[in-house]
Amino acid sequence: MDDLTPSQLNALQNLARKKTGVEVPFINISDARALTELELAERSREGWDITPAGAAFLARLTPSGPEAVDDPPPLTRIGKRPEAD
């Protein structure tokens, strides 16, 4: 199951966003059907929804917790350049 195509993975990520109430772009029907066969998505009245198995799959791909957080990149100052001395 770890061999989703990039398009299928994108569709699964969009279904996860949809579940949180975010408006998502069109989900490719062939990707949604493939996700359904893998039990990562299911058909509903609203189209397609992510399943608990689909959410767990995405959670395994996205590390979380303190060990997953790297030091943030340094701040970049945007705006006026400092005047030359």
pLDDT at residue 80 in the model:
55
pLDDT at residue 73 in the model:
53
pLDDT at residue 55 in the model:
94
pLDDT at residue 48 in the model:
93
pLDDT at residue 61 in the model:
85
Q: Which tens digit of pLDDT belongs to each residue from 26-81?
A: 889 999 999 999 999 999 888 899 999 999 999 998 766 544 445 545 555 555 55
Q: Are 4 and 12 in contact (CB under 8 A)?
A: yes
Q: Where are the domains of the chain?
A: 6-64
Q: Are 58 and 12 in contact (CB under 8 A)?
A: yes
Q: Can you give the pTM of this predicted structure?
A: 0.69
